[in-house]
Amino acid sequence: MITIYHNPRCSKSRQTLELLNSRGIKADIRLYLEQHLSTDELLDLLALLNMTADQLVRKSEQYFKDNLRGKALTQDQLIKAMVENPKLIERPIVVADNKAAIGRPPEAVLEIIE
């Protein structure tokens, strides 16, 4: 099963979904801004991505700039912020066969699928 953590307002997310569709790859779409991730789900994604919370957080988001930038936050604090404010999570994330990749660029997800 393939899952895409998708934000339809994000051009890279739309491009990644289009890329999957164009290759006949059917993915379950998780609209993570509506269906928030739990702390455990986010921890699982971080493990699959082999990333830290600091690497996955979107530092360009307004919430980050207004509330988090310049603060010495622990990984747990960043994870809590991402769970409570899912716009802070880098996107899109595609998960397939216990592997995950961020679709930046969209073609990056093909490494875990093909």
Structure tokens at 77: 């604090």
Using CA atoms, how far apart are residues 27 and 21, in angstroms rounded to an integer? 8
Annotated catalytic sites, by residue?
Answer: 10
Residue in 34, 36, 35, 30 with CA at minimum distance from that of residue 100: 30
Using CA atoms, how far apart are residues 111 and 48, in angstroms rounded to an integer? 14
